[in-house]
């Protein structure tokens, strides 16, 4: 099978298999480097890191990756400090019973430092010059994308609808990740509220492929070679895989999280804002269920995420796992590999065998 296409040429990779970025501390240098060094593209989610941490991260990735890797940011408007103390008291009241159950204090409103602002993070990306800057939740300013081009940084935007894909192409990004609602983690919509456009990959991928000329990478629900082959048949030039790589020993997810991904619990996922302030897919939990109906008391990102972090950590430490959701895509029950090398090799072999079988039938 010939894996070469516009995407592999643009990204200078051998196989159009991308390990999706994991923000919030779930990425690891080892995971990204393993995938890059096997000929795919490893990614690192950096939206929670400061300017200086991103510079250090890039040095580490550069020394471990013998090929293309990406650093990923969330586009933010940095207006979180507008969330009033009065509103925060309401958030505290909703979640207090869960903190009480774990016998830990309800945290005060988190203070956010300027060094973690999107503006400072961008400065770090432009300074660090990773091979690829990937992003979600919007389109960076024209000046930023021009500066990336000037510095030889490829840009990768993420769309949840055709409209968003067209906005990204108009901004002249190098490729687009089209992410279906099966995906684990956040629904990264930016042209509309995510709840208004929960489009599955089977519909989204060919529609985006028809609407834009630049290479499209399919994401969401791909966990084996059949998924990659399907994405390619639908016209995507590559596949971005999250949950299956998250389950590998090289990722920075907790052991409890990895166990959940291989368990019965992964059969059912829900979309919830309770843990970060933004809609995200994870396993079902008491907190998700009890706050699903009324999202109005949830603080905006990133306040909600920082507020809930002690609760998540305490639930893990006290083994009260039923309280919290673990980020997880709808195809988690398909996962079978426990190391990134094994997963990557299996994905290649399975994809090739799907196309070989199709050739035999023809």
Ligand X SMILES: Cc1cc2nc3c(=O)[nH]c(=O)nc-3n(C[C@H](O)[C@H](O)[C@H](O)COP(=O)(O)O)c2cc1C
Residues that bind ligand X (CB under 6 A): 20-23, 26, 45, 47, 72, 136, 158, 179, 182-185, 219-222, 240-243, 246, 327, 329, 331
Nearest to 48 by CA among 79, 72, 29: 72
CB of 227 to ligand X, least distance (A): 8
CB of 240 to ligand X, least distance (A): 5
CA 222 vs CA 201, 212, 219, 329, 335: distances in Å: 9, 22, 7, 9, 10
Return the structure tokens found at 225: 């070679």
Q: Which residue is nearest to ligand X (CB)?
A: 242
Q: Which is nearer to ligand X, 121 or 331 (CB)?
A: 331
CB of 233 to ligand X, least distance (A): 18
* Residue 32 near residue 69 (C-beta atoms within 8 A): yes
Q: Which is nearer to ligand X, 47 or 237 (CB)?
A: 47
Q: Which is nearer to ligand X, 136 or 212 (CB)?
A: 136
Q: Which is nearer to ligand X, 46 or 303 (CB)?
A: 46
Question: Long-range contacts of range 5-9, CB-CB < 8 Å, 24 or more positions apart?
Answer: 5/215, 5/237, 5/238, 6/215, 6/237, 7/175, 7/215, 7/217, 7/237, 7/238, 8/237, 8/238
* Residue 189 near residue 180 (C-beta atoms within 8 A): no
CB of 348 to ligand X, least distance (A): 17
Q: Which is nearer to ligand X, 109 or 139 (CB)?
A: 139
* 285/360 Cα distance (integer angstroms): 46
CB of 105 to ligand X, least distance (A): 27
């Amino acid at each position: 099978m010939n894996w070469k296409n516009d995407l592999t040429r643009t990204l200078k990779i051998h196989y159009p298999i991308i390990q999706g970025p994991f923000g919030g501390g779930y990425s690891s240098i080892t995971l990204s480097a393993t995938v890059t060094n096997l000929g795919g593209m490893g990614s690192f989610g950096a939206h929670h890191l400061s300017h200086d941490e991103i510079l250090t991260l890039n040095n580490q990735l550069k020394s471990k990756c013998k090929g293309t890797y990406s650093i990923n940011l969330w586009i933010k408007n940095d207006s979180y400090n507008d969330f009033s103390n009065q509103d925060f008291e309401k958030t505290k009241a909703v979640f207090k019973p869960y903190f009480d159950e774990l016998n830990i204090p309800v945290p005060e409103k988190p203070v956010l430092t300027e060094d973690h602002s999107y503006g400072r993070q961008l400065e770090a990306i432009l300074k660090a010059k990773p091979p690829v800057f990937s992003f979600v939740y919007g389109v960076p300013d024209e000046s930023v994308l021009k500066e990336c081009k000037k510095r030889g940084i490829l840009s990768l935007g993420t769309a949840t609808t055709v409209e968003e894909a067209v906005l990204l192409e108009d901004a002249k990004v190098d490729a687009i990740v089209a992410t279906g609602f099966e995906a684990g983690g956040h629904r990264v919509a930016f042209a509309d509220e995510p709840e208004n456009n929960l489009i599955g990959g089977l519909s989204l991928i060919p529609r985006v492929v028809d609407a834009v000329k630049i290479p499209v990478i399919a994401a969401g629900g791909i966990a084996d070679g059949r998924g990659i082959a399907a994405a390619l048949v639908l016209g995507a030039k590559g596949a971005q895989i999250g949950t299956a790589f998250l389950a590998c020993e090289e990722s920075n997810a907790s052991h409890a999280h990895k166990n959940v991904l291989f368990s019965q619990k992964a059969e059912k996922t829900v979309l919830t804002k309770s843990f970060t302030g933004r809609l995200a897919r994870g396993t079902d939990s008491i907190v998700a269920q009890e706050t699903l109906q009324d999202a109005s008391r949830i603080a905006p990102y990133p306040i909600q995420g920082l507020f809930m972090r002690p609760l998540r950590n305490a639930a893990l430490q006290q083994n009260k796992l039923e309280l919290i959701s673990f980020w997880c895509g709808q195809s988690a029950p398909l996962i079978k590999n426990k190391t990134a090398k094994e997963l990557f090799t299996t994905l290649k072999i399975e994809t090739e065998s799907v196309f070989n079988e199709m050739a035999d039938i023809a």
